[in-house]
Structure 1
């Protein structure tokens, strides 16, 4: 059995009283000494294990610290590179931002200038539109009075009314009313077929070179006698040999040709202008060209609505035809008929003015 260790402070049993020798004391002391050694050995082993464990942990910690320091250095290097890149990017961005700021300032100044210009335009757009309309109406009025350009004046009035209608301002109602009245006046005018008259004059000009002159008149060709083998008036055929009929036909043809030649030897005509029969080829050329010039001048007078010049040129052309050209020829008679049709055209149309529309525009502009 195990006995408790000896403790001098505890009460001793009777057989271990003072002065009595214990036979177990040496054994107990040896045993206690061995236990102490074992405890010391165990403690030393534990301390050694603890030391070894701490050393291993410290070594592992050092390796981890070294790896972390190396990783930190790498990351620091990369961070420095990234920082330099970021600094460069920041500098570049700052430069771009400064450029953008300058452009923004410039854009703002341009926007302010455009706004001012737009305000000026919006204030003066009506004045400019009215000034342009006034100029167009003045030009159309001049063309209407000088050339009788009714269609051009109508187009000018319609364009002016369309432009005023876009603004949709009640202040322009008075001007639009004046424009409407002038348009009604122009639409009520009788129409003159200027194009048709001009085409007739062009046709006359193209026929001048084919009109025969008195000086270049040629003898008329003999008419071919019609063969008539009919017999007497009672309608019964006369019995005759064939050779007699052939001989009769030849005699009639010969006698007709001889009579025609004899008639051409002497001809009597009454001519009011004897000098027309003695025109040389060059003079005949100038006669035709002068007639063309007269007709062209009449055409220009027609387009410019100059009726006096138009009538004068037509009369001169008619006089030239009657004086130098053969009025018995079919071509000459056709030309005279066409010329009379042109002379019968009426150009006496009093053109209205556009003063009412122009006055309405000027009155509006003169208002404060």
Structure 2
């Protein structure tokens, strides 16, 4: 192939036909130009999307912040309520403590006044060891006399006399022997007194008082129910019509109640009168209990006898509960309560004589 027919791409042919001229296009209509998207519109859309997204995110953050603030406010409100409750309890405790402190202060002031009075009394009377000892002995004898007269407490009186004798024994002087002899005699008389179980007697009275409401009254007594035929009798019985007749007879007998009043007519009491009867019986037993504590043996026995008479007159004497109450009252009446407690006249007279001799000196 000849190289003459091959032309270089960079070299134009020596002669080329002229290019035809294209016709000029008419200008684009306005509608086609409007269809072109402006880049500023895209930027505005993007900016608007970013602003909307930022607004949504800010809205969510605000909602979360609002919920967190509400939760914290609720927690703070609950904590405030708890704090107010704790503060109220603390104020109540403080008021209670202040009231207690006030009582303690008043007691302390009272004790201080009593201590000052006792201190001044001891300063006036304790001029010597003998005077102080005699004062203690006198106080012990006074305490023993009060316990015997007011409460009938023999144990405390014996302890007071033993304390007084021990005080005199420390002095070891012959001038106190008459007083010690009188104390020994009084101690012997008190120790010879029988032991009275006041607490046990009081508990027995309390048991009787608690059972008064269950005791049946004589006016409301009912006869014992008629025993029905046993199954063995029914099995050994005759025909069915006899059993039916027996049942009908039992039912008919239950409609009528027969009670005898020929021996002694019981006292008829209305329901409200029966209530007051039981209450008055309780008051009698309570009076007996108070008389026992006060060492009033006469009143104690008289009240128990009245209670016995009432149980015999107004209540069913054959009832087991009434019999038990009567037995307990009889045991209490038979109990040895001891005679009247002796006084301490010998010891008090010996002490007065000793004090008079010392004053004369």
Q: TM-score with structure 1 length normalisation? A: 0.55
**What residue number does 1:267 align with?**
259
Aligned position for 1:135: 139
**Correspondence for 1:299:** 289
User: Which residues of 2 match residues 18-37 of structure 1 at below 5 A?
Assistant: none
Q: List gaps (5 residues or longer) in structure 1.
A: 1-117, 231-241
Q: Give the match for residue 16 of structure 2.
A: none
1:257 match: 250
C-alpha distance after superposition, 1:137-195 (max 9, x if no partner): 13422442455332222121112123333445554343223222211121122333333
Could you say which structure has the greater relative contact order, defined with CA pairs below 8 angstroms and 6 or more residues apart?
Answer: 1
Q: What secondary structure does 1:362 align onto?
A: helix
Matching residue within 253, 266, 281 for 2:271: 281
Q: 1:181 to 1:266 in 2, by over 3 A?
A: closer
In the TM superposition, residue 130 of structure 1 has moved relative to its aligned partner by 1.7
CA 1:214 to 1:154, structure 2 compared with 1: closer, same or farther past 3 Å? same
TM-score by length of 2: 0.56
Count of residues paired in the alignment: 238
Shift of 1:267: 2.3
How many Å separate the matches in 2 of 1:311 and 1:119? 50
Q: CA deviation at 1:245?
A: 6.1
Within 2, Cα distance between the matches of 1:159 and 1:260?
A: 77
The answer to whether the 8 Å contact 2:217/2:314 transfers is yes
Q: Deviations over 1:89-138 (max 9, x none)?
A: xxxxxxxxxxxxxxxxxxxxxxxxxxxxx998763343233234223313
Counterpart mapping for 1:186-197 below 5 A: 186-197=190-201
2:310 matched to which residue of 1?
A: 320
User: Structure 2 vs 1, CA of residues 269 and 119 (structure 1 numbering), >3 Å: closer, same or farther?
Assistant: closer
Q: Which runs of 5+ in 2 are unaligned?
A: 1-121
- Give CA deviations for 1:335-368 in whole Å, capped at 9, x if unaligned: 1111111122233514322112222222221222
2:163 to 140, 156, 159: 159
The root-mean-square deviation of aligned C-alpha atoms, in Å, is 3.4
